[in-house]
Amino acid sequence: MPLEVGNVVEGTVSGITNFGAFIDLGEEKTGLVHISEVANDYVKNINEYLKTGQKVKVKVLAIEKDGKISLSIKQATPPKKKVIKPAELDWNRPEETSSMSFEDKLSRFLKDSDEKIQTIKSKSKSNRKSNGHAKKAFKE
């Protein structure tokens, strides 16, 4: 495949620097993949993603007049789609409220809410109790 902007070609990592990786494209041509074009994630250490001699697919981003070739690995591979799993439902659990009327559901909700509020209030009262170090009134 000819080397043109937009083409995806295969190359070999020939060198790694702190700012990117040099890719040997064959035919005595070498291009540079900037560190920002290595992966969709933030790349702090390029050595965690690439090794010298590794075969990679790259997209040709630009070919300068002076012969410099800009490449991208992340644009050569389609982005991974995130799989979102639906929440697991317990289909065997009987539906408790389906046969209840609205008034019954409302009264049940109010009862449950009152119980929760009473529990919270009783816990907060016990936390407010003195720990035995109450201030004593000064006698003059």
CA distance readout (Å), 19 to 25, 83, 125: 19, 32, 61
Q: Is residue 123 part of a domain?
A: no
Residue 94: CB atoms within 10 A of its CB come to 6
Query: Structural domain tally of the chain?
Result: 1
Q: What is the CATH number of the domain that holds 39?
A: 2.40.50.140
E-state strands within the chain: 8-17, 20-26, 29-34, 55-63, 69-72
Q: Specify the pLDDT at position 60.
A: 93
- What is the block-wise mean pLDDT of the chain (140 residues), using blocks of 10 residues? 84 94 91 93 91 94 92 84 75 68 90 91 72 54
Provide the pLDDT for residue 94: 60
Residue 122 in any domain: the answer is: no
48 inside domain? yes
In a domain, 127, yes or no: no
pLDDT at 68: 92
Q: Which domain, by its residues, includes 26?
A: 8-72
